[in-house]
Amino acid sequence: MEEIIRLDKELFIFLNTLGSASWDGFWTFLSERTYWIPFYLLLLWLLYKNFGSKKTFLILALTLLMVLATDQLTGLIKGWTQRPRPCFTPEFEGIMRGVGCERRGRFGFTSAHASNHFGIALFLGLVFRSKIRWMIWLLLIWAALISYSRIYLGVHFPLDVICGSLIGLTLGSLFYLIYKKISEKYFHETED
């Protein structure tokens, strides 16, 4: 385990120090959830346009429950492991680029940003797969960029992001199976 943590720290320093002040605004923008409201509204409109109001309500309710589940699970893991964020790790002082640490909690394992966005990406990508085939790839790239932004900003180690992504992908798959079961039962659909 010590070797994995050492490699994780080395990879963090490599990725984090690739950044420059000219890119800070871009990666900060990607990381802030409020900037994504127009994108979320576009997804909501696409859901309504492709699935109607009842299924859109179901998809939205499941998405919100999934985000709640990813948030709660990552919060429990953070409290259990208590691994400090890179920006609160004394050995990185003066070495790393900490762009957005001042407003963060002390612990970072696992990344809630990664779990939330990968969960949303996989769940909605699978929902859209019969209507907009390329949507899953767009959403997964979006989640990956947001997840990388967390390393760039100095608030997560790569392992925080990888484990958060795995949590999101797992819960995204699980909630998609729940969606399929409900759709089969109440909408009499066997395929999307």
Omega before 17 within 30 of 0, i.e. cis: no
Residue 191 confidence (pLDDT): 55
Residue 92 confidence (pLDDT): 86
Residue 190 confidence (pLDDT): 60
Residue 14 confidence (pLDDT): 93
Residue 102 confidence (pLDDT): 66
> Structure pTM?
0.92
Cα–Cα distance for residue pair 81/106, rounded to 1 Å: 12
Q: 3-state SS string over the chain?
A: CHHHHHHHHHHHHHHHCCCCHHHHHHHHHHHCHHHHHHHHHHHHHHHHHHHHHHHHHHHHHHHHHHHHHHHHHHHHHHHHHCCECHHHCHHHCCCCCCCCCCCCCCECCCCHHHHHHHHHHHHHHHHHCCCCCCHHHHHHHHHHHHHHHHHHCCCCCHHHHHHHHHHHHHHHHHHHHHHHHHHHHHCCCCCC
Enzyme catalytic residues: 113, 156
Report mean pLDDT in 10-residue bins for the chain, 192 residues. 91 90 88 86 96 96 98 95 90 82 81 96 96 96 95 94 98 98 83 50
Residue 192 confidence (pLDDT): 46
